[in-house]
Structure 1
Amino acid sequence: MFNRILVAIDGSSGSLKALDKAIEFQQLTEAEIFLLCVYKHHSLFEASLSIGRPPGMDIPDKVLSEYAKDVVKHAKELAKSHGATKIRGFVKAGRPSKVIVKFAQDKEADLIVVGTRGTHSDKDGILLGSVSHRVASQAKCPVLVV
């Protein structure tokens, strides 16, 4: 059924529910789980706008990258505590929906599992969060929105 399941995580309760669902699938199929946390990349121009920061404060990309690594580490530990096996974690920079879809293609994922943030007022996220909506509409494999 599924050999490779990609779970997009960001530390939110919705993404942790997605992880729980992926673990359930893994227990049925023995699929490998890829955990992916995507953080927004800041251009040199955007980073330079924060030149008024205190000495020793890191640039935004470094801070966000470290946070994303912590999110992946926590999710991995949580998954293992729920009996998951064959778990690999990844951190990438960029626009989340595009990175998730490309990563799924590169890793030949059979399923993408994402959380949703609930109802939004914008036209792209009336029922789904905007990232989950974009992933579901652009992915070449099935997408489960939890």
Structure 2
Amino acid sequence: MYRRVLVAVDGCEFNHGVLERGVELAELLGAEVHVLCVQEPPPALQTQILGETPREVFEEHLEEVRSRIREALEGCGVRVESLEVCGGSPAGVILRLLNEGRFDLVVLGRHGRGLRHRFRPGSTTHRVLACAPCPVLVLPCMDEKTIGMDRKEGVGERV
């Protein structure tokens, strides 16, 4: 059913558990796992103050994120077919890959910011849900507010 799964994360410490749970799910499904992390480039002014070109600073940042994701994936013990870390519009890059027909399922996270912001128009989650040509699995992000979360049982208490 699902042969190729795209796990899309952002730089927010890889969506607080979405990376690990996404690749574990793909493995349970017997699917190929592909990981994507898209970062929006920072405003040019911030990097010019540091005396480096914006592109150099951003490329260094992407390489750091790539290294941290590789380390996190090594801890999962799951074989990942590909890892792409790039700059751009997260929803735009995800939808481009999905529209190319390369994936059967996309897994992404949503931040626990309450109902008002959960699927607000304009968010990456909202845009992917509205436009994806394949099924989308949205996982809640686990963070310091999640207490007693047991990944195996999938039950937790939010405060």
SS at match of 1:141: coil
Q: Which residues in structure 2 correspond to 1:1-146 (within 5 Å)?
A: 1-13=1-13, 15-41=15-41, 47=44, 53-55=49-51, 57-59=52-54, 61-106=55-100, 108-119=102-113, 126-128=117-119, 130-146=123-139
Q: Residue type matched to 2:57 in 1?
A: V
> d(CA) in 1 for partners of 2:73 and 2:48?
40
Q: Deviations over 1:9-52 (max 9, x none)?
A: 2232562422122222222223222211212247xxx64x5696
- TM-score (structure 1 length as normaliser): 0.75
Segments of structure 1 that go 5 or more residues without pairing to the other structure are none
Structure with greater strand share of residues: 2
Segments of structure 2 that go 5 or more residues without pairing to the other structure are 140-159
**Cα drift, residue 87 of structure 1:** 3.2
CA RMSD, aligned part only?
2.7
Moved over 4 A (4+): 49-52
> d(CA) in 2 for partners of 1:62 and 1:107?
32
- TM-score (structure 2 length as normaliser): 0.70
> d(CA) in 2 for partners of 1:63 and 1:18?
26
Contact 2:91–2:128 under 8 Å retained in 1: yes
**Cα drift, residue 142 of structure 1:** 0.7
